[in-house]
Structures are given as C-alpha cells and as structure tokens.
Amino acid sequence: MKTKQNIFKAIATVALGFGAFASTQAQSNLGAACGCPPVASRPEIVVSTLPGYTAISGTYGGELTSGASFTCQNTYILDKKIYIPSGQSLSIEPGTVIKGAANAVPAEATALVIERGGKLFAAGTESCPIVFTAAADPMDGSYAISNIGKWGGVVILGRATNNLTLAANGPYVPGGAGKLAVADGLGTIEGFATSNTQDQYGVNLSAGETFNDDDNSGVLKYVSIRHSGAILAVGAEINGLTLGSVGRGTTIEHLEIVSCADDNIEFFGGTVNLKYVTTLFGNDDMYDWDCGYTGKMQFVFGMKSDATSSPDNDSGIEADGDDNKSNLLPRSHPVIYNATFMGNGKATNTADNTGLAGITAKELTEGEIYNSVFANFKNGLWLVKSLSGNRNLNAGNGDSWHNWTNILPAVANTPTTSTGNGSQSLKVVCNTFVGVTNALTNGSTAIAPGTADYIQFDETDMNDVVTAIPGFDYSFALNTTTNVFSQKNDVTPNPALGIAGCPTPPVDGFFEPANYRGAFSSVNGENWLSNWSYSHVLNATTGVRACATDLNLDGVTDVNDFLIFAPAFGTSCN
C-alpha cells in the first residue's frame, strides 16, 4: 500500500511540474513540433541587411525589392520600417519569431508594411505559430504584458473599396490623425510621415483606377503580434494590425494581438474578413473601423488589461462611418456574429476615451452585430446623435443614432420626420450585455428602461441586459509586471446562451453554423484559444485546453487531472 502511495505522489509531482513548465516551453521552444531549434539558440538577422533592401527617402525604412523568406532557424530583427513592394512577397515559416526594434524617435518606429500589390504569407500552425514581438522580449513568458508600444506593428495595404475623397477628407496631413486622402479613393495610413506611395491604400479614382474588393494581400494564420503600437505622432499610433483597403481575397484566421498601445486592429475601409481572432491587454479599442469598412467577422474575442495599468482602455468596438465626418458612401457596414468582449469596469474617461462601451457607434457608422456577449463595460451600446460638422443634412442623413433607431433627423424646409421613415442600417440584435452600468446611451446620456428607445433595444432587437451569466465570469486579477493571474476569468457560458428567434449566421462560404451567443461553444467547456494562444501561456482563462493532459480544462496539468484519469486507466477508448 505504501508503494502505491509513493507512486501516486511521484506521478502527481510530475504532473504539477509539467503544468508550471508548459507555458515557458510554449515560448522558448516555439516551433519544436516543426523541427525548429530553441528560440534562444537562433541567430539574429537584421532585416535591412538582407539582399535587395533599398532605402526610401522619408519613410525611415526601405523595400525588400526581391521579397524574402523567413525561416524558423533564425530570429529576424525589424530595425526600420520594412516594406514589401508590389509584385513581391514575404513568406514566413511556421515557428518563426520576428522582433521589432525600439526607436526613441516616434516617426522612426519600426514596422512591417505590405504595400498595395505586395503579399505576406504567414501561415503558422496550431503547434507552430508565428510570433511578432518586441526586441526585448526573451520569449520565455516573463516579458511583462504592461510593455506596450515597444515597436510599431504590422501594416497591410490593399486596393479594396474605401470612401475617401480629396474634397471632403483631405488634403493629407503628414504625421497627423484624420485627413487621410491623397486623391479620391486613395489615402495614407494615419500617422505616417510622408505621402509616399509606399504608405498609401486604395486606388486613385481620379486617375481612372478601380477598386478591387477581392484583392489578395496574402495569408495570416496562427500569428501572434505582441507589444506593438508605437507612437508616430501625438494622437497617431501604429496599431497592432493596421488594414488599409485590404480585400476579401486575404485570409486572416487564428490571429491574436497582445499588449498593443493603440487600437489592437484598425480597418481603414476594405472588405477583408476575420475569423478566430483575439485581442489581449491592449491600451485602446479592441477593434476599430473607419472609411467604409464592409467585411465580416466571426468568433472574435477581446480581453482588456486592468484599468490601473492601462488607463486609456476604451471600447470593445469603436465604429466610424468615414474619415473626418464627411458623410460619404459607402458607409462602414461590417457584419459580425459570435463575439465576446471582456472589459475592465473602467468608469472614468480620459482624453482619448469616448464611449467606454462594448460598442461605441459614432460618425454615421452602419453595421450588424449579432449573437455576441459584452461584459464589464461602463456602457453597453453607446450611440452618437450629434449632427454638427460636414454632414449633408439636406440629404436627410443622420448619425449612428438615426441609423439604429430607423428615424431620420429633421431637415430644414421639410416636414417634421416621423418614426420609421429611415432604414435601420445599424443593427445590434440578440446580444447579451452583462455587468454594464448603462445598457444604452445617446452619447453620455443614459436611456432609461421603459422608454421607446430602450424597448427597441431590449425587446424588438432581443438584446439581454443581465448582472450575471451561469458559467461565465468576467472578473480577473493579474500582476501586469510578473504576468501572474491570481484570478482567471471564464469566457464560456455554460449552459450556452440560446439564440431562439434570433438571426443565424448566413450560409455564404465564410460564416459557420453557431447556435449560441458569444465566441465560444459550451460543449465540453472547451474553446478555440487552446494550444497556441498567449492567453493559455499566461493561464489567464479557464476552459482552455493548454495541452492534452489538462483533462478538467482549468488551464494547468495537476493532480486533479490525474484523479480524472486514474479511474479510467486500462479501459478501452473505443
């Protein structure tokens, strides 16, 4: 009997040790399943020393004129803004690590920029993801998640539709925020210091060019972008992933953005679709669209850092119809199913915060958001009703509030408008808002339950406002210096939140069937963050199977998993 007890203790000790060891190995031994060497042993290659690199005046960087292939045998250092020009591609092997060097001069922040007509093929795998991170990150899990803005980020530029016009939006102001147009249909990414063609997205409609909504800029799969968002100029940071007029021919799946100083992902027009995407610990909005973005998203997740370490934390979604409030078409109109956004309860606005909301809908945005969960935000759905600025009032166009309520604003020299004479082009339907202070607001004014507008939100559009959800816990506690979570959240409602009477994802080749609200299914309590996401490396969320031995899905292999396994030892798996 004593022998059996000793064997039990030995196995339990090994299991506990393995749980502590797993997250470190997931980083320092990245790509081992693909035959890649340990990260620490890989020689560093400075990208600007590669053959074909040609500097470009004004960009603080240059092009790889012959393209390039990065392998996991090396670690690659982005020491400047590295551009992949039209007709060329950058291919990145699974398990590869690319590091962005820090630069104290804002305009000289390092970044990877895929130009219009260039391509990025970064097809990692679940067992061998591709990681972009800061140069100072030792890739052992110890680099603090509070390290934000240490390099620029990844920028992809395409030729899909946007709504920029030179008369209404421009002219472009180098290094500034807003006023992005260089010509009708052609813009420069916010914050970049020149009007060089290498920094431009869209097409020049005035010169007879046409948009290509099927434009293909390559593939991003199982890619992690960390510690990015460097400031180029005041109010103009690079995002973790910036997408300028990127077309739906581009594949973006199983992507994560970690510890970004600005918006985690921002769309400037375009039609690109995203699936299985997560953002963690960013310092601004999780997802931000503008300039007529009309793509699709499904299975997207966002989790804020704590409000103390990231004081500028803003919204889950910040939605704009256009640049510079110009009221141009097409307005932004993405379609989203199955999202989960976890806020941090932040209640006080700072200079760059507007809605502090799950959804901040501003500047004429349209769109459709279905079957999703928004938790622990000050506000649920925050809508703009202002009609100041350059809006064309005589055309009867309103703001996001009017797009949502189906009521057009009153217009000079016309009869008073009435309910229902517009069209509901902003739909927020069958979503669950949990732990929010104000479920619905008109700007900073909360809309009281029982009013006509609240009834539309709560009853007509079948949104639920609750204080808690079974099996779901948005609370968490972490040390942003040591990366230690003393309390994990649980992002998977169990039982699942039903969608009876709600819209279901269309059968269109992109959306997948999902008969529940939120990003994760409650089947077996497991979710798609498993195996590769940084959230499991940090052990931040329950319900993630970090490895095959995590039988109870608590994020760690320990004696409790052994107790599940022991009674079944020797039984058939058939």
3-state secondary structure (DSSP) of residue 276? strand
Instruction: Please give the residue that has the higher pLDDT: either 125 or 538.
Output: 125
Over residues 410-414, mean pLDDT? 47
pLDDT score, position 235: 65
Task: Please give the share of the chain, as a percent, with pLDDT higher than 70.
Answer: 81
| pLDDT of 216 higher than 60 | yes
What is the token pair recorded at 416? 């008073």
pLDDT band at 283 (very low <50, low <70, confident <90, very high): confident
pLDDT band at 147 (very low <50, low <70, confident <90, very high): very high
Positive or negative torsion for Cα 532, 534, 539, 542: negative
What is the token pair recorded at 35? 């035959």
pLDDT score, position 46: 98
Q: What is the domain partition of the chain in residue ranges?
A: 31-537
* Angle at 174 (CA atoms; ends 169, 178), nearest 5 degrees: 35
pLDDT score, position 553: 47
Over residues 30-40, mean pLDDT? 93
429-to-177, 292, 432, 503 alpha-carbon distances in Å = 32, 21, 9, 8
pLDDT band at 4 (very low <50, low <70, confident <90, very high): very low
Over residues 304-323, mean pLDDT? 77
Q: Which residue has the tokens 């249909």?
A: 185
Strand partners of residue 96: none
Instruction: Please give the residue that has the higher pLDDT: either 461 or 141.
Output: 461
pLDDT score, position 444: 81
pLDDT score, position 56: 94
- How far the first Cα of the chain sits from its last, in Å, is 32
Report the mean per-residue pLDDT for the chain.
84
| pLDDT of 300 higher than 60 | yes
Residues 262 and 227: beta-carbon distance below 8 Å: no
pLDDT band at 454 (very low <50, low <70, confident <90, very high): very high
Instruction: Please give the residue that has the higher pLDDT: either 475 or 9.
Output: 475
| pLDDT of 410 higher than 80 | no
pLDDT band at 422 (very low <50, low <70, confident <90, very high): low
pLDDT score, position 6: 44
d(CA 128, CA 331): 38
Q: Which residue has the tokens 């690659």?
A: 76
Over residues 212-234, mean pLDDT? 93
| pLDDT of 538 higher than 90 | no
Residue type, 206: S
Residues 191 and 237: beta-carbon distance below 8 Å: yes
pTM check: above 0.85? yes
Q: What is the CA radius of gyration of the chain?
A: 24
- Interval 338-359: pLDDT, tens: 999 998 877 776 655 567 899 9
d(CA 183, CA 155): 20
- Interval 41-60: pLDDT, tens: 999 999 999 999 999 998 99
430-to-239, 277, 295, 343, 407 alpha-carbon distances in Å = 30, 21, 20, 19, 21
Residues 6+ apart with CB under 8 A from 93: 34, 69, 70, 71, 72, 130
pLDDT band at 466 (very low <50, low <70, confident <90, very high): very high
- Interval 470-517: pLDDT, tens: 999 988 888 888 888 888 888 999 899 999 999 999 999 999 999 999
pLDDT score, position 80: 96
What is the token pair recorded at 109? 């922040």
Instruction: Please give the residue that has the higher pLDDT: either 403 or 233.
Output: 403
pLDDT score, position 398: 64
pLDDT score, position 305: 80
d(CA 371, CA 140): 37
pLDDT score, position 195: 76
| pLDDT of 36 higher than 60 | yes
Residues 553 and 542: beta-carbon distance below 8 Å: yes
Considering only 197-201, 458-462, 534-538, which range has the smallest mean pLDDT? 534-538
pLDDT score, position 522: 83
pLDDT score, position 201: 97
pLDDT score, position 541: 75
Strands (E), 43-169: 44-46, 53-56, 61-64, 68-70, 75-78, 81-84, 89-92, 97-100, 111-114, 119-123, 130-134, 154-157
Residues 353 and 304: beta-carbon distance below 8 Å: no
Over residues 71-91, mean pLDDT? 98
Positive or negative torsion for Cα 143, 145, 146, 152: positive
d(CA 509, CA 401): 32
* Angle at 286 (CA atoms; ends 272, 389), nearest 5 degrees: 80
